[in-house]
């Protein structure tokens, strides 16, 4: 499909963020199970729930625009998921805090991709005067920021200190 208009780009990126979320969902669950810190494990479980909710919201927007959200495959998230598995799940760690610090690192890389995606989609929706879409996307963006901040607090509140000891 040629991307000739902002509307075309908006549609393409809706499908991209849905694909990114779908791919991230499984590995976030794996990261949550691998985390040894209880607060981190809970944050990742909540993050997984947030990803699922984001997918549902994006699918609803896609349906309004007669789009199949599964028509796009996000290669960027494919790479981030591969990296998360390699660095946080398939690497051996001698210290659980170091492992948890790596889990946070990999999770936040995926989250930052989602932040960029939702931020761009919100800007596109606003420019296209798609107010209802914009409100939904703003909620997705805010929820994603909340998850990112929560993991930063967990990291800086103790995990990084423990990993440095």
pLDDT under 70: residue ranges of the chain: 1
Closest-CA residue to 48 (of 36, 61, 32, 60): 32
Model confidence pLDDT, tens digit, residues 54-81: 999 999 999 999 999 999 999 999 999 9
Per-residue confidence (pLDDT) for residue 2, from 0 to 100: 87
Kindly report the number of other CB atoms within 10 A of residue 145's CB atom.
15
Q: What is the distance between the alpha carbons of residues 159 and 150, in angstroms, rounded to a whole number?
A: 13
Per-residue confidence (pLDDT) for residue 137, from 0 to 100: 98
Tell me if the pTM is above 0.85.
yes
Instruction: Domains for the chain: give ranges and CATH numbers.
Output: 6-164 (1.20.1260.10)
Per-residue confidence (pLDDT) for residue 1, from 0 to 100: 66
Q: What is the distance between the alpha carbons of residues 16 and 77, in angstroms, rounded to a whole number?
A: 9
């Amino acid at each position: 499909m040629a991307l000739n208009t902002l509307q075309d780009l908006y549609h393409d990126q809706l499908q991209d963020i849905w694909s990114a979320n779908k791919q991230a969902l499984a590995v976030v669950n794996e990261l949550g199970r691998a985390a040894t810190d209880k607060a981190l494990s809970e944050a990742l479980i909540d993050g997984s729930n947030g990803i699922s909710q984001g997918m549902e919201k994006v699918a609803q927007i896609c349906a309004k625009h007669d789009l199949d959200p599964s028509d796009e495959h996000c290669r960027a998230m494919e790479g981030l998921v591969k990296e998360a598995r390699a660095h946080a799940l398939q690497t051996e760690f001698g210290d659980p805090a170091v492992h948890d610090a790596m889990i946070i690192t990999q999770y936040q890389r995926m989250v930052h991709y989602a932040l960029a995606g939702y931020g761009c989609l919100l800007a596109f929706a606003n420019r296209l005067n798609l107010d209802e879409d914009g409100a939904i996307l703003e909620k997705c963006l805010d929820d994603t920021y909340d998850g990112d901040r929560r993991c930063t607090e967990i990291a800086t509140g103790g995990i990084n200190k423990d990993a440095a000891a």
